[in-house]
A and B are shown apart, each in its own frame.
Chain A
């Protein structure tokens, strides 16, 4: 066994040619595709790289991208959380209802995040304690939480919300959208957590081989559950940010987002089979998936063709990455 880092960057210490290092880097292919799309976008529409358009992309990308940070942990641990979109709606409704009751914004903010964390705790407990497949366990939670939202709201958006609340999702700091700044900060935290802490290494370990990890003395059950706590809390945060950005709490918020989140991380090089993935890859994958909506409108592609284009780009990203992996194996 060569000393390959679980994040795919092998051969520590040796200085290698740039191309070789690029091929070995799990984020390289998606980065190349991202650059290609940006060049095409700029070529087809000279306004594509305007600061105004970039901030629009950054702001709208932040929401799914924040959840993708957590889903990276979930996938590396060989778990699956399909409930994230429903958690987004739930926490939005929680924060919306509290604000309408006159609760101060910071308190409502915290309550929204906590409602997400609580959902994640339940999801993790159900899946790990009853030892049921994570796909079914989290799908059940997806239905239950969305159902709770419909029961509480009867499908009607909560509007209006108090003045000032929209500042969080709609505001800028030094010209940069606030949700994007929050995302960048969280990405740094989770990058450190995954790559440089014992906890992060343990997540890789249980995703690589649960039995070995258990034999090594890791508390596999708690570690597995903890990944749902992360997605839960992050989805809760996103629910609050989205309600703020939309200055209303929408019962259908986050519907089908689990697929966008999963596409973002898989395109970013996270493995479906556990044990492999990086935060850097996830960030690039999230940007790629997140900018597609804007990109396809900006290049003026007919709305009837947009789904085909999205499918082709996602497939292209994954095929390109597979090609890179094969090349990297041969170059070892």
Chain B
């Protein structure tokens, strides 16, 4: 009897502690990943500013089932808000709807699921980001290029959307031609291996576009090692340290960055606002930037 009472008391204490501050669960598709680490820093800043408890939890390899487990756990714990990324709209929509139905606002970042009942979306869609890269490459090459493309895993929606936008952009330039497409599974070593082979198999290539984070570092190494700096234009996405180093030394021309720090920040901020009954817009555009030598020194990835 004493034990039971003690247990009940402990339970009450827990409940009291939980109700004291608000809790937000953030489920990224990947933890321990350079891109999502910046998202996490944004989320943590917002959590600090709004004084909410943040659980930032997710799988270390892309796995939709793992993501769903984290989301289900958050719903079961009745957190005050959820922020996540719609890795796969069809698979995640039911669970998003379940959360919203239970009164928990769901903020999507990076990748939207417009057909779900999600509360709001913060990000730049990847199609737009792809268009920005395509337009910039056309500008740099004066509308004339034979392009070798390097994506990551063939089934990754965000990369396919980036390529879709890129192709839409270059379609309006008759002399911008996609010569080859390869995939590196987001592995720097394979990116270099395939990049080397690509330049030999398609010697007409005069521009290389990387669609996942290792594209610029990998393809820049290929161009540098082949002694073709200046002859082949390297562009891509994201902001790894060596991506910036290769832009600074002139091997790569530029990279497209989606301001993921802002996505993380908004993910938490909007969840809190929605939990407190504020009315939100449906979409918050975080913008997309093309970074080259001209603006690399003023670029601050953690600017709000």
Contact = CB atoms under 8 A, between A and B. Distances in A.
Contacts of B241: 156-157, 159-160
B78 interface: no
B179 to A, nearest CB: 10
Interface in A233-256: 242, 245-248, 250-253, 255
A167 to B, nearest CB: 13
A222 B221 CA distance: 44
Nearest to B181: A303
Given A253-B189, A294-B196, A303-B181, 19 more contacts: A45-B201, A147-B60, A155-B30, A155-B36, A157-B242, A159-B245, A160-B241, A160-B245, A246-B192, A248-B217, A248-B242, A251-B32, A252-B187, A255-B187, A294-B194, A298-B201, A299-B201, A303-B183, A306-B183
Contacts, number: 94
B242 A294 contact: no
A304 B34 contact: no
B225 interface: yes
A37 to B, nearest CB: 14
18 contacts: A146-B60, A150-B32, A150-B60, A155-B32, A156-B37, A157-B188, A157-B241, A159-B245, A160-B245, A170-B225, A242-B189, A245-B189, A253-B188, A297-B194, A297-B198, A299-B201, A300-B201, A304-B154
A246 B189 contact: yes
A247 B201 CA distance: 25
A293 B184 CA distance: 10
Contacts of A247: 221, 242
B52 interface: no
A251 B197 CA distance: 25
What are the 8 closest A-B residue pairs judged by CB atoms, nearest first?
Answer: A155-B32, A297-B197, A150-B32, A60-B193, A294-B197, A155-B33, A56-B196, A159-B242
Nearest to A147: B60
A250 B188 contact: yes
Contacts of B98: none
- Most chain A CB atoms below 10 A, which of B34, B190, B201, B242: B201
Contacts of A299: 201
B201 A297 contact: yes
Contacts of B221: 246-247
A101 interface: no
Interface of A: 45, 47, 50, 52-53, 56, 60, 63, 146-147, 150, 153-157, 159-160, 170, 242, 245-248, 250-253, 255, 293-294, 297-300, 302-304, 306
A153 B279 CA distance: 39
B255 to A, nearest CB: 15
Contacts of A294: 193-194, 196-197
Contact of B200 (A47, A63, A170, A303): A47
A155 B197 contact: no
A47 to B, nearest CB: 5
B283 interface: no
Interface in B184-232: 186-190, 192-194, 196-198, 200-202, 217, 221, 225
B240 interface: yes
A8 B183 CA distance: 39
A56 B222 CA distance: 11
Nearest to B180: A300
Contacts of A150: 31-32, 60
